Structure 1
Amino acid sequence: MENSPSDSPPLKAANEGVSYSVDSTSTDSLPERAIFDPILLPADSYDVNGTYWADMPLSKRIPFVLNYDLFVEGKQEWAEIWEGAKRNPLSPLIRYFKSAVLPGAGLGLEGYVLFSIGNIKPLFQAVWKECWSTHQVCNARWVSSIEYLEVAGIMVGQILVGIQGDWIGRKWGLVQDALIMFWGLVLLTASWGTSLNGWVICYAWCLFIYGIGVGGEYPMTATSSMENGTGTGVISSKDDRLHRGRSVTSAFLMQGWGQFWNVVILMLVLFIANGTGNPPYSEKAVQIAFRVSFAIPALGTAVLVWHRMFNIKNPNKELEVQKKKSNVTGYDLESLKLTFTHFGGRMLATSGAWFANDVFFYGNKLFQSEFIKVITPNNHSVMEGWKWNLVNVSVSLVGYYLASMLIDNKLYGRKWMQIVGFMFDFILFIIPAFAFDYFTSREGIHAFQAMYFLSSFFNQFGPNSVTFLVAAEVYPASVRASAHGLGAAIGKLGAVAAAILYSYIDTQTKFYVVPWFGLGGALMTWLWLPDTTGLDLAEQERRWRYIREGRGEEYCGVAVHSKHLSVWERWMGISKQYNPAKDYKMKIEEMRTEWEQGKSKEISHDDGSETIWSQHVDDYFTRTSARHNTAPAEQKSEISPVNEKQATY
């Protein structure tokens, strides 16, 4: 039931601490600021004086951010969880399942399968040594091609499905990815050959097919998770501002759980099939472990196909809204061209940092093989390597979760998280390079272990989580999936480069080479990556509309605040456009335009008072429309309560 103005509570300003002394029963008595402050100056981003959080001095910014995040939003979230738990003890788990597990199920299954390839290989080498190790009966190139074809399939999927996601829609990409992964898993489970070499060839091409689905999962999961809470028009969403990073990284971290459960299942199946975890391993036991390990995610992927086909509700909404505003059908080539023109530095940051991160990721695998050799000399049990891999994945999961908790914090956020993660990995990799003999001896093993686990932790609590998020969120919706897919594909080139490079240099040289990619990643992040922490996607889309209309220099909102621009963009002078007082007026005029087009009823607000605010806005625009239409052009954006000299709005 709609509330009438006479039922409305007293209106309040930028947050609930300051109210206007007006008669709320008569909308004619409401000043513009009382109507628009709660809409345009939300309490999570502006203080009681209307000052944007990034404009506050550090002495005020810290308590403002901590107070809202912990005692307002944090308290509200815990209250909701507690209320749900009182009604149903399983409510918190169900809530987590819906918000993180289901959106990230594709990446969880992908992590399970892709890391299964590396985990199973030592088992193949132990049983079919003449094929997988000495290459007496198998072609060495085909054995090596397993990793290359897998990566090639992923890159194809990342680019093609990214384009499809922007062209046809997010849901099409999500369903298609799940179907391709299901098909690939069925093929992997049933892969065979008339000889060992024939089986290797079949296995490699099945991985290529599966990899296409995996590659598409990257841009589709990132964009669909990100766009769930986006506001409309000039109206932003609290969920988007405060929890966008958490939504995306909570889905992404399911990749870590996929790795974890792959190791657990392989250990259990091999132990049951072989009767022991120690060698020798029978061919039958390895065949069972190999095929069961792929059959289990195939069943899970079949469920995922069904869920995405019938249960996902309109993931294309944000894309459709932005295309409609730009009068675009099909693929938005114009936006793609403008993205390279205006956001070229961001492209360098997202793709270059991802490239550097994937080189590091291979470096982490190098650490693993080296320290396992040191702590378990003369060991030939595959189980031993799996156990240490399980410990490493568990440490990584801690990094994943901590990244998800802090990635939206305005005092730390994405950019610092990525720089700090890169720098720690740089340090942790370069130390063993200059004391390699000590750290690979029995005396230095504990320090070596610590560095190895810390490198895993900071890789997740840093570039691995952040690159997945920012490769989509710093671009407009119309080309978001394409940009993410391109960045991810270039990142995979880093994995290929590392694999090729490592085959030509010895172990210690690898330690000399790898760290500099961490330093390079940190520098690229500092120079070219904007910090979008606390900046909602609706505001970024608003700036993009100005750019697309050829008047990008007229935009003066928070998306060009120096806090939300890269160092490079600030050097280009873009931050000089920022003018909050002028932008406040421009936003109201844009709302008026939407109202005139019949969209006023679409306005939604963080406190749930949709009808109340829509009614006040509607009454205001109705009351002032005649005056607005007859006013001189230069005065139409004048709003008397806002003083240009008050540079806080």
Structure 2
Amino acid sequence: MAGEQLQVLNALDVAKTQWYHFTAIIIAGMGFFTDAYDLFCISMVTKLLGRIYYHVDGSPKPGTLPPNVSAAVNGVALCGTLAGQLFFGWLGDKLGRKRVYGLTLMLMCLCSVASGLSFGKEPKAVMATLCFFRFWLGFGIGGDYPLSATIMSEYANKKTRGAFIAAVFAMQGFGILAGGIFAILISSAFDARFKAPAYQVDPIGSTIPQADYIWRIILMVGAFPAAVTYYWRMKMPETARYTALVAKNAKQAASDMSKVLHMDIEVEQQKVEQIAQKPAGSFGLFSKEFLRRHGLHLLGTTSTWFLLDIAYYSQNLFQKDIFSAIGWIPPAKTMNAVQEVYRIARAQTLIALCSTVPGYWFTVALIDRMGRFSIQLLGFFMMTVFMFALAIPYNHWTHPDNRIGFVVMYSLTFFFANFGPNATTFVVPAEIFPARLRSTCHGISAASGKLGAIVGAFGFLYLAQNQDKAKADAGYPAGIGVRNSLIVLGVVNFLGLLFTFLVPESKGKSLEEMSGENEDTAGDGPDQQPSYNSRAGSVA
């Protein structure tokens, strides 16, 4: 028999949607707005970095970043994000969600500015400094994942919890969109302000000295949205679930939530102490009991996030290369450096506006109706279909008459990534694990995702670039590396579909019901703990 729910937690579960819900979404969501801006804006300036720092004097060809340097610049922030997710996820369960929340935001602000101030006398020194600061930027971004998800899940009511957590994550779409729009504005401004006769006479490889400011300004602007929400993050009270179930302070939990919900809540210290005394409620992450209860769940959340991010970050970070391969972005030799930034930013903004952002908000609208499992399964299935539809007849899509069709199909993969596993992999780990391990398990799941992103960022860059070069030398058509990349991504998405069957459905259930903490309060022995149906998420 399930134990009786604490009044303070029950009040949160059944609370009507109120202003504090939207405040929490905005405060947590602005962190994700910043995360997305900082992680994805680098893809718009990497070609500019090559023109500025790797142009060979006297050569008519624009400079390009060597593959290893390009992979490092694109991927080092992901390495930092992985480390930050593990560290801050663990710290969030040890010190509390609120105490760690401001630290991650401060780190993001400082390192965004520092990235734009990267210095050095030689190109390698500038790239090394940039990579150093972007690693620590990623470290701060990593902490935002488990903390934002956990805070929102523990504040939300069970009826609309999925939509609230997904809305926080949906701010990532606006961050990607903002990065593209700002790059368009800043490149347009510089192109108009510093237009020189040399641009009309010989645009090949031309790079104005002021182009060095463009990438620095784009990177530094990422500090602004994070800074404006710092005060409000510090004003948020600690979540009642952490205070009551982990810190064991029923009085403080009741006091904090009484102010938030504008109602009187009974202090149930005796019940909290009873929870603390139950051996079944104190198992650790590496215990057999955790493995029995949540082992398959953790495998499901880590594997699906890992596979999703291989595909998702490969597409985002290197879509400029794909668009160049099919001719949607003109060859670099036909544009000056500033115009190239504009063209890349315009293409990525169009994709974000037409597919990425709508996909996120379809999830927000439907996740508490369709359920997490159905949306994730649908997303992986459609991504698999569209990847193979692009890869198998690849030569058809590279024909000038069919490029619009390629862009439409490619955009649909982004739509179903976001109306699918890119959102649900973020939501579910914040709902199905015990409060004392929730942030840690979400951090592990998210870190697994970033490991996939690193595989995508480093592995697929080499696959696309080096195979294209090798095949071109052997006389094969251009773009064969991109085609092979799309085939591999299609297989990855299909594997994600299969692993989705390990993930439980949490729609309409309280956090304690999903984690089994209600059963712990009843004092049932280990043999009386709930068994979960991974597909339906029901408690037997």
- Mark the CA change 1:548 to 1:363 in structure 2 (over 3 Å): closer, same or farther: farther
User: What is the CA distance between 1:406 and its match in structure 2?
Assistant: 0.6
Is 1:513 equivalent to 2:488 in the alignment? Answer: yes
Match of 2:312 in 1: 361
Whole-Å Cα distance in 2 between the matches of residues 248 and 277 of structure 1? 45
Question: Cα RMSD over matched residues?
Answer: 3.3
Matching residue's letter, 2:238: N
Q: Does the CA contact (< 8 Å) of 1:226 and 1:473 recur in 2? A: yes
Superimposed CA distance per residue, residues 514-536 of structure 1 (whole angstroms, 9 cap, x where no aligned partner): 1111111111112x111111111
| Structure 1 unaligned spans of 5+ | 1-35, 46-72, 81-93, 230-239, 579-649
- Mark the CA change 1:283 to 1:313 in structure 2 (over 3 Å): closer, same or farther: farther
Whole-Å Cα distance in 2 between the matches of residues 300 and 434 of structure 1? 42
Is 1:421 equivalent to 2:379 in the alignment? Answer: yes
Is 1:322 equivalent to 2:245 in the alignment? Answer: yes
3-state SS, counterpart of residue 400 of structure 2: coil
Whole-Å Cα distance in 2 between the matches of residues 541 and 376 of structure 1? 49
Q: How does 1:594-609 map to 2 (within 5 A)?
A: none
Q: 2:533 aligns with which of 565, 584, 591?
A: 565
| Structure 2 unaligned spans of 5+ | 249-271, 468-480
Q: How does 1:344-493 map to 2 (within 5 A)?
A: 344-365=295-316, 369-372=321-324, 373-378=326-331, 380=335, 381-394=340-353, 395-409=355-369, 412-493=370-451
Match of 1:551 in 2: 525
3-state SS, counterpart of residue 318 of structure 1: helix
Q: Does the CA contact (< 8 Å) of 2:51 and 2:63 recur in 1? A: no
User: What is the CA distance between 1:172 and its match in structure 2?
Assistant: 1.6
Q: Does the CA contact (< 8 Å) of 2:75 and 2:458 recur in 1? A: no
Superimposed CA distance per residue, residues 495-528 of structure 1 (whole angstroms, 9 cap, x where no aligned partner): 22223432135222222211111111111112x1
- Mark the CA change 1:178 to 1:363 in structure 2 (over 3 Å): closer, same or farther: closer
User: What is the CA distance between 1:341 and its match in structure 2?
Assistant: 3.0
Q: How does 1:153-552 map to 2 (within 5 A)?
A: 153-229=80-156, 240-275=157-192, 282-309=207-234, 311-315=235-239, 317-323=240-246, 324=248, 325=272, 326-327=275-276, 334=284, 337=287, 338-365=289-316, 369-372=321-324, 373-378=326-331, 380=335, 381-394=340-353, 395-409=355-369, 412-502=370-460, 503-504=462-463, 505=467, 506-526=481-501, 528-543=502-517, 545-546=519-520, 551-552=525-526
User: What is the CA distance between 1:139 and its match in structure 2?
Assistant: 7.8
* Segment drifting more, 290-299 vs 194-203: 290-299
Whole-Å Cα distance in 2 between the matches of residues 488 and 377 of structure 1? 36
Superimposed CA distance per residue, residues 543-599 of structure 1 (whole angstroms, 9 cap, x where no aligned partner): 46539967244356xxx5xxx6214x99xxxx7x74xxxxxxxxxxxxxxxxxxxxx
Q: TM-score if structure 2 supplies the norm length?
A: 0.78
Whole-Å Cα distance in 1 between the matches of residues 319 and 212 of structure 2? 29
Matching residue's letter, 1:327: A
User: What is the CA distance between 1:150 and its match in structure 2?
Assistant: 1.4
User: What is the CA distance between 1:137 and its match in structure 2?
Assistant: 11
Matching residue's letter, 1:352: S
Superimposed CA distance per residue, residues 285-343 of structure 1 (whole angstroms, 9 cap, x where no aligned partner): 3232223223333233233332222x21223x211211234438xx9662552333321
Matching residue's letter, 1:263: G
Q: Does the CA contact (< 8 Å) of 1:110 and 1:258 recur in 2? A: yes
Superimposed CA distance per residue, residues 113-160 of structure 1 (whole angstroms, 9 cap, x where no aligned partner): 1111111112222333338x9999988645532233212111110000
Q: Does the CA contact (< 8 Å) of 2:183 and 2:342 recur in 1? A: no
Whole-Å Cα distance in 2 between the matches of residues 145 and 209 of structure 1? 14
Q: How many matched pairs? A: 464
Superimposed CA distance per residue, residues 78-99 of structure 1 (whole angstroms, 9 cap, x where no aligned partner): xx9xxxxxxxxxxxxx889624
- Mark the CA change 1:277 to 1:423 in structure 2 (over 3 Å): closer, same or farther: farther
Whole-Å Cα distance in 2 between the matches of residues 136 and 227 of structure 1? 50
Whole-Å Cα distance in 1 between the matches of residues 89 and 459 of structure 2? 29
Q: Does the CA contact (< 8 Å) of 2:145 and 2:443 recur in 1? A: yes
- Mark the CA change 1:96 to 1:382 in structure 2 (over 3 Å): closer, same or farther: farther
Q: Does the CA contact (< 8 Å) of 1:396 and 1:456 recur in 2? A: yes
Q: Does the CA contact (< 8 Å) of 1:332 and 1:479 recur in 2? A: no
Matching residue's letter, 2:50: Q
- Mark the CA change 1:523 to 1:367 in structure 2 (over 3 Å): closer, same or farther: same
Higher relative contact order (CA 8 A, sep 6+): 2
Whole-Å Cα distance in 1 between the matches of residues 282 and 121 of structure 2? 48
Matching residue's letter, 2:210: A
Structure number, greater radius of gyration: 1
Matching residue's letter, 2:327: V
Whole-Å Cα distance in 2 between the matches of residues 158 and 530 of structure 1? 22
